[in-house]
Amino acid sequence: MSVDDSGAGEPAPPHPPRAAPDAERAPSGAERPADPAADAATDEAGEDGAPPSPTDPGAGHDRNVAAERAAAVEDDPIALKLEQLILGAERRYTPFQAARSAGVSMELASRFWRAMGFADIGQAKALTEADVLALRRLAGLVEAGLLSEPMAVQVARSTGQTTARLADWQIDSFLEGLTEPQEPGMTRTEIAYPLVELLLPELEEFIVYVWRRQLAAATGRVVQAQDDAEMVNRRLAVGFADLVGFTRLTRRLEEEELGELVEAFETTAADLVAAHGGRLIKTLGDEVLYAADDAGVAAEIGLRLIETMSHDETMPALRVGLAFGSVTTRMGDVFGTTVNLASRLTSIAPKDAVLVDGALADELSRTGDAPRSEAEAAAAEKEGESVKYRFALQPMWQRAVRGLGVVEPWLLTRRP
């Protein structure tokens, strides 16, 4: 990312069509209050939309690679045609012109664009009417009081991060596979155009459908929260599942084999988590993080993961750690002591076993999913109570866990 280091004027605004890998490491200038001098320079811009020197962000000595790439697309008719097909509009604006047309300051426009993960492009004319409309919508939500400015930036950031990963996957795996093998005498770009033309409307509708479904499910969970505090700091069961000996595998397997193993692990885990009512929070190659509102659901998923993976000879051993308690949710991720404890339990769990913390063991006992001890189960049976426990809990040795003090893990198994 290239920004003028002279300190004059606004930071170089970003370019929506291409996400930059380091977009989240925006320079501190993107967070400064609006600079009246820079806004005045924007208002006095010439017909090309760029303020006069020395406030021109392109006046610095840094090489702006993103701007060079944006200009290179202009010189490639096929690439430009493909971009216009995807964006649905032609290039019309420089970043300054887009911000001015949207009625927002360059400082706010830069914050929104960087939050979405778009690279700085100096004053290249690479933005479309859709970019102007997006700025107007976000700024309009703030002006109407529906979102605070920090919340609007967070919306932009969470959307940008999620869709950037989706777009990378679609190009790297999906579209690349469809354009192989190449037709004789045709470039990949020439093959890609008709494919994108056919797939774009279908994929767009499908993405919106999935998003609405996920939004409905998330909204349902929030409105069922018992109080406002629970909407943000909720009590959840959190689980980590970790492949044992993955580092050794990376040295032994070929890259393609390793990629197939990780994909199989993530796919199996995602399917099991979804099928049993949990939510997959994220995947980390050799590890997955999931959450569930119900401790019994989280326990069932943990055991199912162990049982499924152990029947696959290509998979290494698996270990799972579960904890129950207050969790902070932000941008689709989860944080807090409960999450840290689940991670630590995973690291000390035996192979092909599930360890849970005392709070989750208590919750399973409270809901009737597991007896606190076999003596408790025997007493219930002796009194003629028709209690059918799903799980068994066995206390393990107490141990000190880094950063969390002494914990007493419990080994979770199925009851016969």
Average pLDDT over residues 105-120: 89
Q: Is the pLDDT of residue 36 over 80?
A: no
| pLDDT the model gives residue 224 | 65
Average pLDDT over residues 235-248: 90
- 212 vs 374: which has the higher pLDDT: 212
Q: What DSSP character marks residue 75?
A: T
**CA-to-CA distance for 397 and 392, rounded, in angstroms?**
17
Structure tokens that stand for 6 in this block: 């002279």
Closest by CA position to 86, among listed 176, 235, 8, 189: 189
Average pLDDT over residues 256-266: 84
Q: Which stretch of 40-44, 230-234, 331-335 has the lowest confidence by average pLDDT? A: 40-44
Average pLDDT over residues 360-371: 92
Helix/strand/coil percentages in the chain, nearest 5: 50, 15, 30
| pLDDT the model gives residue 15 | 44
**CA-to-CA distance for 132 and 222, rounded, in angstroms?**
32
Q: Is the pLDDT of residue 61 over 50?
A: no
**3-class secondary structure, 271:** helix
| pLDDT the model gives residue 226 | 53
What is the percent of the chain with per-residue pLDDT over 90, rounded to a whole number? Answer: 33
| pLDDT the model gives residue 252 | 78
| pLDDT the model gives residue 239 | 96
- 324 vs 185: which has the higher pLDDT: 324
Closest by CA position to 318, among listed 238, 241, 402: 241
The model's pLDDT over 149-170, given as tens digits with 9 standing for 90+, comes to: 988 988 898 888 888 878 887 7
Q: Is the pLDDT of residue 56 over 50?
A: no
Average pLDDT over residues 275-296: 90
CB 330 within 8 A of CB 318: no
Q: Is the pLDDT of residue 329 over 90?
A: no
| pLDDT the model gives residue 413 | 94
> What's the chain's average pLDDT?
78
Q: Which residues of 370-399 are buried (b: 16+ CB within 10 A; e: fewer)?
A: bbeeeeebeeeeeeeeeeebebbbeebeee
Confidence of residue 130 (pLDDT cuts 50, 70, 90): very high
First-last CA distance in the chain? 59
Q: Identify the helix (H) or strand (E) that includes residue 309.
A: helix 295-310
AA letter at 217: A
Q: Is the pLDDT of residue 39 over 60?
A: no
pTM > 0.85: yes or no: no
- CB within 8 A of 298, min separation 6: which ones? 237, 238, 239, 278, 290, 291, 292, 322, 324, 360
Residue 220 CA: distances (Å) to CA of 210, 292, 294, 388: 15, 14, 15, 30
Place of tokens 């499910």: 217
